[in-house]
Amino acid sequence: MFSKRYIAGEKLEDAVTVSKQLAMKGVSSTIDHLGEYVTEIKMAKQVQRIYLEMIDRFEQEDLSVTYSVKPSNFGLLTDFETCFELVREVVEKARGYDSFVRIDMEDSSCVDAELELYQRLHAIYPQNVGIVIQAYLKRTPKDLLFLEKLHSEASPVNVRLCKGIYVEPEEIAFKDRKEISQQYVKALRFLLEKGIYVGIATHDRSLTDMAQQLIKQYAIGSEKYEFQMLYGVTPELRSELVRAGHKMRVYVPYGKEWFGYSSRRLKENPKMISYIIKALFKRG
Ligand code: FDA
């Protein structure tokens, strides 16, 4: 099945197994339970239960794991206050283990609410929650200034920087690959200059090369950044970065709702079909 390459499996134990395998290669994980856009609070509460159980399970292991949540899964666009409370309890649980929850950034209809969610959670749990910034959005420089205002030594902001995966209209998002890369580098420079912790989330070699140059140029210590990649994507580049001494975290999704996640990955990369065929033959 195509999804096998990108998804740990359907069960929590599959994610535990994959995280252990990654840990043996010197790679940390961030765990995501698949699913998006829950409109009933009853379902959002079920999602929360899955996360609470997940955290308890992972924390029994000696793994450097964090957790990634999609707020739309917690009813973000249906009932913000309930979503806030549900996610807050997940962060509270993670804080109990001195761990960390990243709020994924979803499509543009969610960005304002997700930044607000982050601002409020960061005020309560400054060490245990992070946000994502999408370089392709034209609003990103403004959002970075907003995050800079929240940042201090006592309340450090923690950002995952990615290109952005959703199909957005031209009025709000850059479309051209070169332009998106330029925006990415600008945002990365900003975060490094301001001393804001950054998860450099990309498989684009030109960007990982540039990031390594900037890290050197600004003499950024390993306590201020890590590289991040998706499970199943560019494992060779991932190993190279680990060998070069950089911290690496892999996004490990698991669960039954693999279709939306996998088909986004396929659409994103038209070359995928050749990767899939190669992988099929390799395993064959
Ligand atoms: P790009 O798409 O240019 O890919 C660079 C190279 O990587 C390709 O040429 C190919 O070799 C390889 N590659 C890329 N995708 C591949 C695939 N599917 N299979 C095989 N090879 C592939 N987005 C978002 O909107 N919100 C979020 O919260 C997140 N979170 C997130 C976490 C992490 C850890 C990562 C790495 C990414 C995200 N993203 C995301 C996705 C991100 O926005 C972006 O869409 C993808 O990372 C693809 O962009 P790249 O920077 O990798 O470059």
Confidence of residue 283 (pLDDT cuts 50, 70, 90): very low
So what's the pLDDT on residue 93?
98
Distances (CA, A) of 70 to 36, 110, 111, 139, 249: 7, 10, 11, 20, 18
What are 147-160's pLDDT values in tens digits?
Answer: 999 999 999 999 99
How far apart, in whole angstroms, are the C-alpha atoms of residue 88 and residue 274? 42
Active-site positions read: 104, 160
How far apart, in whole angstroms, are the C-alpha atoms of residue 149 and residue 143? 10
pTM: 0.93
So what's the pLDDT on residue 256?
86
What are 125-140's pLDDT values in tens digits?
Answer: 999 999 999 999 999 9
How far apart, in whole angstroms, are the C-alpha atoms of residue 104 and residue 119? 14
In the numeric block, which tokens belong to residue 181? 């890369």
Cα(183) to centroid(ligand 1), Å:
15
CB 166 within 8 A of CB 108: yes
So what's the pLDDT on residue 254?
95
- Coil, strand or helix at 6: coil
Using alpha carbons only, what angle is made at residue 32 by residues 28 and 37, rounded to the nearest 5 degrees?
A: 155
DSSP of 145-179: HHHHHH--SSS--EEEEE---S---TTTB---HHH
Residue labelled with tokens 């210590």: 221
Cα(203) to centroid(ligand 1), Å:
6
What are 75-120's pLDDT values in tens digits?
Answer: 999 999 999 999 999 999 999 999 999 999 999 999 999 999 999 9
Domains of the chain (ranges, CATH numbers): 12-257 (3.20.20.220)
So what's the pLDDT on residue 267?
60
So what's the pLDDT on residue 37?
76
So what's the pLDDT on residue 281?
39
Q: Is the predicted pLDDT of residue 22 greater than 70, yes or no? A: yes
As for ligand 1, residues whose beta carbon falls within 6 Å of it are 104-105, 132, 134, 160, 162-166, 201-204, 228-230, 233-234, 251, 265, 268-269, 272, 275
Cα(19) to centroid(ligand 1), Å:
19
What ligand 1 atom has the least distance to the C-alpha of 135? 43
What mean pLDDT do residues 195-222 have?
Answer: 98
Instruction: Return all residues near 203 (Cβ < 8 A) that are at least 6 apart.
Output: 229, 230, 233, 234, 237
Q: What is the mean pLDDT of the chain?
A: 92
Cα(124) to centroid(ligand 1), Å:
31
Closest CA to 132 of 152, 114, 155: 114
Residue nearest to atom 9 of ligand 1 (CA): 204
